[in-house]
């Protein structure tokens, strides 16, 4: 017999020994685990250890039928948890610290749980903690995890109520009490199904308030994957291994060719010998702060919609040649755009860009102002070979365009390699790349080209952003991922031309620009398994499923997560209801709640009316059993009438033997006479109305002593 085949009977036997309350507690533990597990990636290591330890401790107490730990010990653990939270986050408030404390306290409440009331408290905490999961993620898998947790919590509460309904009831079982658990699960599922229409109605009607409903301190930063406000050799090649979504875009007309999809984010002009940063960044400034440079459109503008993923940063992505990017945005230095505040949620932007444009020329930013802004500045003592090579190029070429072509020809001619795994570079990184290793990613080529241009007297800067993107054939959106991060250069070619984009990567690996990084990966020697993990390679079925899932995810983002006050107003206008104000929406919510309550009350009333009314003999028997229960004789649901009669008469006869019972000496005889009449009328022959009247009088006269 396999280990699994031996394990199943063992588990069933263990469950059978727990009893109904034990199995209900075990179901509650499962529900709490479903609530807590999604938070594991946010908990510090010590909190994870405490959580697992508390679950193990509770399971041991449950298996051994032990009492809860001493309250003093639990109080000491609470103090240690508070201290650990303070050490980990520097505060007891905020999103991360608050959720950590809530998880810890709920686990300790599990250890303290003894009465059925405690289990309901744990369930209520579980409902609240399940909602906090949306503070970290609002994705479809996160929502599915919350729904599963809610279902288990409802089932656990129902299981507790089944035991509370009749403490003496014997649960119908098939081995390990599975029938009772199935009943609890089915009831929880029905409760959730009944509540979903009301939840959907509240989702549509509840007033949307612009901005977040709360402000969580100490969570403004938060780690995220994507571009940063500096660029050093190796930064973008690390991003190339990430399949995380950066943004999605969709054009009103046909999309441009792959080689024209340059998504501009940051312009970097400050170089310290190794890293590039945006120019003009005093303390407290944001990347890209500074005066804007005008974009003069030389072709018809393209209209597009862009959905940016949360990053926490202010800079935005726009198709090169940006003219507009929607409200709550502003142009900044180098034709880049910023949001008014950091992107904490998915943001929908409506952009306009010209593929053919002139940048900065209309403002008259000629050679003098450009030089004064530092576009020719190079740090002293770095990359001497590159500086010398730039001076020699200037001596050989008086025309700037001819000089640029000579450098690009060198990249194509002298066996330069485009690779995600370039050699490490030292202090003079540009010298080592240009003359020694000759292998690098896009940031190596952009940095070296910009330094070489400055050394030759041509103002130059680095632009960081994304290039390309994959069109999803299901919904037509262009998906731009972190692996599409790219860097290129811009050079100043006089007032007539302005800033001109030069991408040295296109000279070394044109397939990267024309077909995307994914198509260039085989030439780069990247392992196929890595591409498969990112979803950029694999069988056609796998790619089709990935596209379908991405389209579903995008629909979720647009229809659910983006449902704000504007979308709500648009929905009501399409339904012909106008644009309701907040008071009208609140009244609608209250009306929906009232209708739901009325429907629930009507359903309960209908079920009560449809329930068959017991006949007169059954009602008399129930009244008689109630009087016996008042005297301490309670009938078990599984107990036959004859057996109950013998037990009740014997108990009443024993009570009558006591001196204190002299005032009711005939209680046992009365009960025996009533039992004989009830059993005879039920199982021998139907009673006549006169017999029922006599039986009713006997039961009315039956008044046994209440137990002390």
Q: Where are the beta strands (DSSP E) in 468-590?
A: 470-471, 478-481, 485-492, 499-502
The burial of 402, by beta-carbon neighbours within 10 Å (0-12 exposed, 13-18 middle, 19 or more buried), is given as: exposed
> Buried (b) or exposed (e) across 286-323, using 16+ Cβ within 10 A?
ebbbbebbbbbeeeebbebbbbbbebebbbbbbbbbbb
Q: Round to whole Å and give the CA distance between 246 and 254.
A: 21
Question: What is the residue whose two structure tokens read 């007891």?
Answer: 92
> Buried (b) or exposed (e) across 447-475, using 16+ Cβ within 10 A?
bbbbbbbbbbebbbbbbbbbbbbbebebb
Active site residues: 442, 486, 503
- Sequence-separated (6 or more) residues with CB below 8 Å from residue 223: none
Reading phi first (left if > 0) and then psi (alpha if -120 to 50, else beta), residue 335 is in left
> Contact, 342 vs 314, CB < 8 A?
yes
Residue 179: Cβ within 10 Å count: 13
> Contact, 503 vs 258, CB < 8 A?
no
Give me the count of residues in the chain.
708
DSSP strand pairing (270-271 vs 262-268): unpaired
Closest CA to 219 of 41, 96, 343: 96
DSSP strand pairing (417-418 vs 439-440): parallel
Q: Round to whole Å and give the CA distance between 254 and 232.
A: 36
Q: Where are the beta strands (DSSP E) in 493-570?
A: 499-502
Residue 302's H or E segment, with its range, is: strand 302-308
3 state SS of 308: strand
- The β-bridge partners of 489 are 462, 502
Greatest alpha-carbon pair distance for the chain in Å reads 130
357 DSSP 8-state letter: E
Q: Per the structure block, which two tokens stand in for 2?
A: 């396999």
> Contact, 416 vs 449, CB < 8 A?
no
Q: Round to whole Å and give the CA distance between 80 and 68.
A: 19
3 state SS of 22: helix
Closest CA to 516 of 557, 489, 479, 549: 479
């Amino acid at each position: 017999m396999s280990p699994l085949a031996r394990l199943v009977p063992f588990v069933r036997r263990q469950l059978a020994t727990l009893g109904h309350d034990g199995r209900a507690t075990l179901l509650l533990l499962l529900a709490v685990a479903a609530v807590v597990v999604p938070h594991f990636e946010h908990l510090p290591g010590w909190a994870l250890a405490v959580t697992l330890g508390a679950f193990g401790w509770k399971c041991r107490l449950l298996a051994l039928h032990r009492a809860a730990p001493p309250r003093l010990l639990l109080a000491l653990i609470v103090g240690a948890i508070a201290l650990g939270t303070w050490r980990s986050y520097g505060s007891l408030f905020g999103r991360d610290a608050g959720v950590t404390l809530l998880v810890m306290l709920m686990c300790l409440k599990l250890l303290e749980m003894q009465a059925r009331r405690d289990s309901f408290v744990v369930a209520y905490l579980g409902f609240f903690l399940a909602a906090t999961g949306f503070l970290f993620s609002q994705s479809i898998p996160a929502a599915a995890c919350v729904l599963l947790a809610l279902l288990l919590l409802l089932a656990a509460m129902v299981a507790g109520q089944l035991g509370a309904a009749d403490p003496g009831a014997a649960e119908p079982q098939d081995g390990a009490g599975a029938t009772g658990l199935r009943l609890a699960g089915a009831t929880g599922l029905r409760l959730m199904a009944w509540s979903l229409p009301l939840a959907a109605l509240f989702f549509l009607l509840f007033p949307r308030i612009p901005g977040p409903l709360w402000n969580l301190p100490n969570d403004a930063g938060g780690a995220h994957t994507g571009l940063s406000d500096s660029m050093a050799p190796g930064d973008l090649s690390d991003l190339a291994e990430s399949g995380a979504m950066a943004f999605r875009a969709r054009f009103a007309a046909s999309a441009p060719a792959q080689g024209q999809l340059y998504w501009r984010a940051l312009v970097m002009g400050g170089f310290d010998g190794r890293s590039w940063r945006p120019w003009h960044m005093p303390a407290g400034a944001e990347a890209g702060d500074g005066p804007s440079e005008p974009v003069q459109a030389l072709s018809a503008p393209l209209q597009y919609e862009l959905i940016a993923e949360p990053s926490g940063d202010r800079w935005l992505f726009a198709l090169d040649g940006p003219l507009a990017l929607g409200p709550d945005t502003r142009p900044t230095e180098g034709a880049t755009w910023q949001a008014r505040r950091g992107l904490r949620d998915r943001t929908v932007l409506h952009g306009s860009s010209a593929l053919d444009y002139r940048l900065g020329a209309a403002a008259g930013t000629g050679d003098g102002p450009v030089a004064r802004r530092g576009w020719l500045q190079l740090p002293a003592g770095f990359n001497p070979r590159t500086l010398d090579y730039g001076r020699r190029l200037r001596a050989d070429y008086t025309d700037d365009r001819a000089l640029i072509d000579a450098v690009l020809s060198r990249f194509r001619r002298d066996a330069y390699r485009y690779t995600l795994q370039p050699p490490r570079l030292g202090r003079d990184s540009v010298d080592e790349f240009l003359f020694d290793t000759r292998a690098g990613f896009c940031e190596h080529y952009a940095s070296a080209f910009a330094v070489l241009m400055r050394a030759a007297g041509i103002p130059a800067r680095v632009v960081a952003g994304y290039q390309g993107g994959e069109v999803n054939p299901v919904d037509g959106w262009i998906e731009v991922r972190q692996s599409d991060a790219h860097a290129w250069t811009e050079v100043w070619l006089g007032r007539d031309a302005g800033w001109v984009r030069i991408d040295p990567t296109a000279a070394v690996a044109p397939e990267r620009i024309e077909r995307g990084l994914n198509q260039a990966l085989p030439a780069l020697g990247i392992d196929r398994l890595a591409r498969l993990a990112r979803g950029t390679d694999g069988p056609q079925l796998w790619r089709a499923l990935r596209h379908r899932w991405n389209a579903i995810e995008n629909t979720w983002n647009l229809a659910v997560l983006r449902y704000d006050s504007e979308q709500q107003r648009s929905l009501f206008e399409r339904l012909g209801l106008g644009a309701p104000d907040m008071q009208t929406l609140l009244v609608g919510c209250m009306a929906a709640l009232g209708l739901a309550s009325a429907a629930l009350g009507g359903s309960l009333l209908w079920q009560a009316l449809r329930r068959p009314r017991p006949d007169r003999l059954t009602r008399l028997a129930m009244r008689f059993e109630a009087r016996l229960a008042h005297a301490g004789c309670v009938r078990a649901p599984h107990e036959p009438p004859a057996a109950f009669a013998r037990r009740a008469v014997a108990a009443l006869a024993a009570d009558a033997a006591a001196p204190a019972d002299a005032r009711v000496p005939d209680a046992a005889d009365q009960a025996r006479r009533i039992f004989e009449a009830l059993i005879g009328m039920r199982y021998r022959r139907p009673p006549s109305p006169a017999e029922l009247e006599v039986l009713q009088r006997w039961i009315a006269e039956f008044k046994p002593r209440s137990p002390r």
